[in-house]
Amino acid sequence: TISLTINGKECLAYENETLLTCARRHDIYVPTLCELDDINHTPGTCRVCVVEIHQACKDKHQIVTSCNTPVRNGMEVLTRTKKVRNMQKLQVELLMADHLQDCATCSRHGDCELQDLAQFVGLKENRYFNRQLTESREVDDSSPSIIRDMRRCVRCQRCVAVCRNYQGVDALVMSGTGIDRLVSLRDGLDQLNSTCVSCGQCVLVCPTGALGERDEIDKALDFICDPELTTVIQFAPAVRVAFGEEFGMPAGTNVEGQMISACRKIGVDIILDTNFAADVVIMEEGIELLNRLKSGTKPTFTSCCPAWVNFAEIHYPDILPLLSSTKSPQQVLSTLSKTYLPEKMGISPDKIRVISIMPCTAKKDEAVRPQLSQDGRPDTDVVLTTREFARLLRREGIDLKHIEPSSFDDPYMSEYSGAGAIFGTTGGVMEAAIRTLYAVINDKELDEIELTQLRGFEGVRSATVDLGGPFGKVKVAMCHGLSETRTIVETILNRETDFDFIEIMACPGGCVDGGGSLRSKKSYLPQAQARRETIYNVDRTTKVRQSHNNEQVKSLYKDFLEAPNSEKARHLLHTHYSD
Ligand code: HC1
Ligand code: SF4
């Protein structure tokens, strides 16, 4: 081991450790901006992590960046000298010189790592702010989902690293030189026409408001406040377990009841559950899969994750015929809200507007697909990310912590099974599908409902499941994160694997850690485990645990769709993809 002192305190360090990690292990705070430990990112560009070192042998004081300076035996490190504090202050002031100073109107206000740093160094003035230069920086609002605002970029390159190393998409690059060195899309393209798939992982790691979703809160409020319209809201399986944190509740708290009350309070007319539609998807996709297995088409890929669909369309169009044609739960619910619901409730479909709350940025892309609209009107009228929903509630003066929970009261599309609930985590769609497939084939339920062999957190997991009947054992795989997806897609295209059914979720962890979920400063996916556990608990405590046993799903087929994959169901609940 190596021994050194930090601010006079004796510290033991590991070989190859940096001064920053050693200081952190000894509970000594050193400010950082570009660095992000969770993704192993230390580009050393922001230079706010400077410390002073003194090496007795050289009798020399030196200022170094702690994030990329290795520890050495006998070092004396000082983190709070006047020289260090002045340098940190100057660095932050220089960062602010080329940063839009409109914190009050920034969506990241109060949750911004640069604001925190300005407070930490005690910044009182901003002598070098160059408004003209800053305002000339690019704002790319070409995409329906992600806005890239270079007026707020601090060049930390975390977005570039996560897109390249974690998602394997590599859509972002650093371009330009000197003060014009900035993040851009590869080949100078805009977001819409680039190879970006809108997964939103870059947004999760951005320390400022440079990356964010297209803000559509006012559009949602316009619908809610219009007395002529009937507004329907739906929220995704994962949102309820990944939202309470915003209001100070422990990670993984299930706030379904509070969300229902909040929606009522802001004036939403009908509150539906995307979980119900997840059960419908299992019915449609399950029967579709059996038909494909009978005809020898394999594998079938799930298609509920819109960033995965974007990825397939942009990066691997040859794989598109293998994607299930079943619409995603979001789109199934929106379509039914404008067909089945009006028929049941006697409302004109023209007067219905569907708002969906999703932990996902790519759902905004999905909602504007031309094939997911009727006569030019989208089935889903507006998608709000979990972050936007939090901002909307704050704008309406609602604190979720102080609101009494309540229950769904819609008799048509709000009941869900445990199988629908687990869609929100990696492996959940597969587990839900197997529960129903087994029952359809064998006319009895699985003895063991919880298919623990499908659970876990490895990027790719595979299993063999005995479906019984003519199908016998089938090979399934579950994959989350796009780097892993790329690997599995290539093995399929090269005929190296022979899976029957593959679940893909673009975001590492699945929807519980979706690119539209709440952001945490200085960390990447910190709450994954707590959220997953709550999702599995919802399944365990839900009365009905298989999609085909959901009473409202049964009524939907009896009263409206006739049967899974019926002509009507195929017309309303299936889609196609474009290459
Ligand atoms: Fe998801 Fe899905 S699970 S895609 O991850 O199939 O966003 O939560 O809503 O549509 O149900 C997201 C979550 C979500 C859909 C469902
Ligand atoms: Fe890359 Fe996803 Fe960000 Fe697009 S949204 S730039 S694919 S991380």
In a domain, 302, yes or no: yes
- Spatial separation of the C-alpha atoms in residues 540 and 419, rounded to whole Å: 10
In a domain, 90, yes or no: no
Span 132-142, pLDDT tens digits:
999 999 999 99
Q: Are 149 and 274 members of one domain?
A: no
Name the domain boundary from 80, 112, 137.
Answer: 80
330 close to ligand 1 (CB < 6 Angstrom): yes
In a domain, 153, yes or no: yes
372 close to ligand 1 (CB < 6 Angstrom): no
Give me 400's structure tokens.
Answer: 């979720």
Name the domain boundary from 177, 195, 213.
Answer: 213
329 close to ligand 1 (CB < 6 Angstrom): yes
- Please report, as a single letter, which amino acid is at residue 447: D
Determine the pLDDT at residue 58: 66
Q: Are 437 and 544 members of one domain?
A: yes
Q: Are 259 and 407 members of one domain?
A: yes
Phi-psi region of 91 (alpha: psi -120 to 50; beta: other; left: phi over 0): alpha
Looking at the CA of residue 170, tell me the nearest atom of ligand 2: 1
In a domain, 400, yes or no: yes
20 close to ligand 1 (CB < 6 Angstrom): no
Give me 72's structure tokens.
Answer: 């050495």
Per DSSP, what are the bridge partners of residue 5? 10, 76
- Spatial separation of the C-alpha atoms in residues 387 and 243, rounded to whole Å: 9
Determine the pLDDT at residue 453: 87
CATH of the domain at 539: 3.40.50.1780
1 pLDDT more than 90 = no
Distance 198 CA to ligand 2 centre (A): 5
Average pLDDT over residues 29-44: 96
485 close to ligand 2 (CB < 6 Angstrom): no
Residue minimizing CA distance to atom 5 of ligand 1 = 511
Span 397-447, pLDDT tens digits:
999 999 999 999 999 999 999 999 999 999 999 999 999 999 999 999 999
- Spatial separation of the C-alpha atoms in residues 378 and 471, rounded to whole Å: 39
Q: Are 63 and 177 members of one domain?
A: no
Domain count of the fold of the chain: 3
Name the domain boundary from 195, 213, 231.
Answer: 213
Q: Are 449 and 548 members of one domain?
A: yes
Domain that holds residue 53: 2-80
Distance 369 CA to ligand 2 centre (A): 19
Q: DSSP string of 5-57?
A: EETTEEEEE-TT-BHHHHHHHTT-----SS-BGGGTB----S--SEEEEEETT
In a domain, 120, yes or no: no
310 close to ligand 2 (CB < 6 Angstrom): no
Distance 506 CA to ligand 2 centre (A): 10
Distance 363 CA to ligand 1 centre (A): 9
**What are the residue ranges of helices labelled H in 368-427?**
386-395, 418-421
CB 111 within 8 A of CB 203: no
**Nearest ligand to the CA atom of 170:** 2
306 close to ligand 2 (CB < 6 Angstrom): no
> Of 196, 365, 524, which is best to mutate to test ligand 2, by the most ligand atoms within 8 angstroms of its C-beta?
196
Q: Are 12 and 25 members of one domain?
A: yes
57 pLDDT more than 70 = no
Residue minimizing CA distance to atom 4 of ligand 2 = 196
Give the model's confidence band at 579: pLDDT under 50 very low, under 70 low, under 90 confident, else very high: confident
Q: Are 185 and 313 members of one domain?
A: no
- Spatial separation of the C-alpha atoms in residues 258 and 275, rounded to whole Å: 17
- Smallest CA-to-CA distance from 23 within 45, 36, 6 is with 6
Q: Are 181 and 50 members of one domain?
A: no
Distance 92 CA to ligand 1 centre (A): 40
**Nearest ligand to the CA atom of 360:** 1
Distance 379 CA to ligand 2 centre (A): 25
Looking at the CA of residue 328, tell me the nearest atom of ligand 1: 10
**Nearest ligand to the CA atom of 185:** 2
Q: DSSP string of 120-180?
A: HHT----TT--HHHHHTS-EE--SSSEEEETTS-----HHHHIIIIISS---EEEESSGGG
206 close to ligand 2 (CB < 6 Angstrom): no
43 pLDDT more than 90 = yes
Close Cβ partners of 136 (under 8 Å, ≥ 6 residues apart): none
Give the model's confidence band at 542: pLDDT under 50 very low, under 70 low, under 90 confident, else very high: very high
Distance 274 CA to ligand 1 centre (A): 8
In a domain, 257, yes or no: yes
Span 434-474, pLDDT tens digits:
999 999 999 999 999 899 988 988 999 999 999 999 999 99
Looking at the CA of residue 166, tell me the nearest atom of ligand 2: 8
Distance 305 CA to ligand 1 centre (A): 7
200 close to ligand 2 (CB < 6 Angstrom): yes
171 pLDDT more than 70 = yes
**Nearest ligand to the CA atom of 169:** 2
> Is 461 in a helix, a strand, or coil?
strand
510 close to ligand 1 (CB < 6 Angstrom): yes
Q: Are 488 and 408 members of one domain?
A: yes
Give me 444's structure tokens.
Answer: 């009895």
- Spatial separation of the C-alpha atoms in residues 122 and 566, rounded to whole Å: 66
ipTM over 0.85: yes
Q: Are 175 and 257 members of one domain?
A: no
Determine the pLDDT at residue 361: 98
Residue minimizing CA distance to atom 9 of ligand 1 = 236
- Spatial separation of the C-alpha atoms in residues 262 and 396, rounded to whole Å: 10
467 close to ligand 2 (CB < 6 Angstrom): no
> Of 39, 41, 145, 146, which is best to mutate to test ligand 2, by the most ligand atoms within 8 angstroms of its C-beta?
146
- Spatial separation of the C-alpha atoms in residues 94 and 88, rounded to whole Å: 10
Per DSSP, what are the bridge partners of residue 41? 36
Q: What is the largest CA-CA distance in the chain?
A: 86
- Please report, as a single letter, which amino acid is at residue 417: S
- Please report, as a single letter, which amino acid is at residue 466: D
Distance 199 CA to ligand 2 centre (A): 5
196 close to ligand 2 (CB < 6 Angstrom): yes
φ, ψ (nearest 5 deg) of residue 443: 60, 25
Determine the pLDDT at residue 56: 66
Q: Are 456 and 311 members of one domain?
A: yes
Whole-number mean pLDDT of the chain?
96
CATH of the domain at 25: 3.10.20.740
161 close to ligand 2 (CB < 6 Angstrom): no
CB 40 within 8 A of CB 28: no
Span 322-375, pLDDT tens digits:
999 999 999 999 999 999 999 999 999 999 999 999 999 999 999 999 999 999
CATH of the domain at 168: 3.30.70.20
In a domain, 379, yes or no: yes
308 close to ligand 1 (CB < 6 Angstrom): no
In a domain, 107, yes or no: no
Q: Are 144 and 237 members of one domain?
A: no
